[in-house]
Structure 1
Amino acid sequence: MTTYAESDATTDPFTAFAIGREPGDPTPAMTQLLGTDLTDHRGLIELPALTVLFDDLGGLPFFHADPETSSMQARLSMSMLHRPAADDVLRATARLAMSDAGYGSTTVEITRGDGAVLCVGTARNVRVGRPIVDATAADDFSLPDPVAPNTRPVVAPPDPELSGAEVVARLIDGTLPLGPIADLLGASVASTADDGTVSVEFTSEPWMANLMGTMHGGVIGAMLAQACSFGAQRNVRAHGAYQLIDFTCEFHRSPVVDGRRVRVEVTPVKLGRRLSIFDARMYDGEQLLGRATADARYDA
């Protein structure tokens, strides 16, 4: 396997998000090195940067229970309170809480370098019996040591005098940068509407594939969460700030990673001064691929 250090090209979700596994740990564990490549249009690390770590580790205990049969996640539920720094090192652990032959639930906990709990939640696992494209990658100790993704500079935060709607309008016309993580995901903010709806498009690429050759669930989650982040930005008041604190996504169909564009429509469900709720749906043409809900808390 080509390591991140040997090539500047992104080869898989693990190199893109600087994720490694910890052999010899009695509890399934993974680490993630954050970096500037994972910051957003405000220069911050937001929940989308954690979804690949959460999804992959969330499936590992269930897979190990029957490694002869392929499995995947059907749903992720993540809850956060605090945002990590761009140079943080994260550690995630997971435990299979319950399972039978076809389904299971795994609990996941992500901590920062200082040991403080950053994110908790669950992954719903399902056995699918699909063929594995790269059997060698199924070895959970085969990943190279991660290298912190620091090839892109942090962008300056938007002018606080701008309303959220004005920020999103400038993201659409290109006068404000979308941020490194959005660029990594091939994102573009396509449109917005008076009701607060935001449409975001993403370009699928081969590096986004899972072991079965379709888009990794954590990458789908990152796209849905990033679109929700833009939806939350659209509804920020001038001098305000926001953070995604709860995120749940469900996977219906996995996109093909052949360069096609998928779109995510984000619609406000509730807009409040302190907490807003958003619904997001991912489509390939008119086919629904997945959906999510996100809670954003607002300051000021």
Structure 2
Amino acid sequence: MSHSPADPFNAFAVGRDEGFDGAVMHQYLGTSVTDHRGLIELPALAVLFDDLGGYRFYFQDPSASSLQSRLTMSMLARPSIDERLQATADLRMSSHEYGTTVVEITGTDGRVLCSGLARNVRVGRAQNTDAGSASATPQGLNDLPAVGGPPADATGREVIDEIRRGAPIGPIAELLGGSISAADDDGLSYTTETAPWMGNMMGTMHGGVIGAVVAQGCSFGAQHYTRAGQQYQIIDFTVAFLRSPAVDGRRIHTRVTPVKLGRRLSVFDADLRDDDGTLLAHATADVRFDV
């Protein structure tokens, strides 16, 4: 793809206004963050949600590094491809060590698209002050052709099989360096090749990128079980960050398994592991199958 990101903020067109105090950030959507169906799905919002979810807590003591330990995102409305999103944060509970921030993302017309919680925790890791910043919003996320999506009469397994045979995997999956490495009766595996642009201030993978990777794996996992012509949407997603992977080109693998497959609502579990099998993140996703 033509978009070569410098950092997570540039990759997802996430920015903040002058005088930023940790309360408001924004994101310009575009075709470069659409999925294999040509839609904006929850993974595209993960960097915005995660990053703003930590800032109010961070500003309480900027001398100490902090990170997220868990994100919980809920959404029903799906934004349009070319919307400008606004996210607001409210630090509701806080001690020196832990905090909880409420995040709300709204669309161009002010309608609520996504809301949820970010769990903050202070850590003793050194910060890289040369890491990317969200001080400016990049342009160019609409420079890819719109994705047409899979055939309307294809089953989910047919869609996944075609992607594995070379059909378009979608711009956001390409951005994340992802591929579907396995698909069977028990679930699906989504493999991501890490890259330096995915890093945070501490030199490991940005939490929002981890969230986007795992949520994208859940999206493919849900697609795998759809009936012919059936649509789906992730409406609830919770991810616990257990260890931050390095961003030096090594691969990480999201294994998605169904917990319950329902006519209206299905539930999936997802584990993110490295090549050695170390558990990096654990997630659950509730997916509408009656869209």
State the TM-score, normalized to the length of structure 2: 0.96
Whole-Å Cα distance in 1 between the matches of residues 21 and 246 of structure 2? Answer: 35
Shift of 1:26: 6.7
Task: Determine the C-alpha separation between the residues in 2 that align with 1:136 and 1:260.
Answer: 20
Supply the distance in 1 between the matched residues of 2:15 and 2:178 (Cα, whole angstroms): 25
Matches within 5 A, 1:43-82: 43-82=38-77
Cα separation, partners in 2 of 1:136 and 1:44, compared to 1, 3 Å: closer
Is the CA contact (8 Å cut-off) linking 1:32 and 1:146 kept in structure 2? no
SS at 1:220 equivalent:
helix
Residue 210 (1) aligns with residue 205 (2): no
Counterpart amino acid of 2:213?
M
Unmatched 5+ stretches in structure 1: 1-6
1:110 aligns with 2:105: yes
Aligned residue in 1 for 2:149: 157
Structure 1 residues 200 and 26: alpha-carbon distance in aligned structure 2, compared to 1, 3 A threshold: closer
Show CA shifts across 1:173-221 (max 9, x none): 11x21000000000000111113x0011000000000011100000000
Q: 1:241 maps to which residue?
A: 231
Q: Is the 8 A contact 1:27 1:95 kept in 2?
A: no
Kindly tell me: are residues 25 and 258 of structure 1, through their superposed partners in 2, closer, same or farther at Cα, counting changes over 3 Å? closer
Partner in structure 2 of residue 181 of structure 1: 172
Matching residue of 1:42:
37
When the two structures are superposed, what TM-score results if normalisation uses the length of structure 1? 0.93
Q: Which runs of 5+ in 2 are unaligned?
A: none
RMSD: 1.5
Structure 1 counterpart of 2:14, from 10, 13, 19: 19
Letter paired with 2:286: D
The answer to whether residue 74 in structure 2 is matched with residue 85 in structure 1 is no
Q: Residue type of the partner of 2:195?
A: E
In structure 1, what residue type is equivalent to 2:81?
A
| Pair 1:220 & 2:227 matched | no
More off after superposition, 52-61 vs 20-29: 20-29
Distance of 1:239 and 1:136 partners within structure 2: 44
**1:223-263 CA deviation, whole Å, 9 max, x = no partner?**
00000000000011111100000000010110100000100
Match 1:276 to one of 254, 266, 269: 266
The answer to whether the Cα contact below 8 Å between 2:26 and 2:84 also exists between their aligned partners in 1 is yes
SS of equivalent to 1:149: coil
Question: Which structure 1 residue ranges, 4+ long, deviate > 6 Å from structure 2?
Answer: none
How many residues are matched? 289
The answer to whether structure 1 residue 299 and structure 2 residue 290 are counterparts is yes
Counterpart CA distance in 2 for 1:283 and 1:298 is: 27
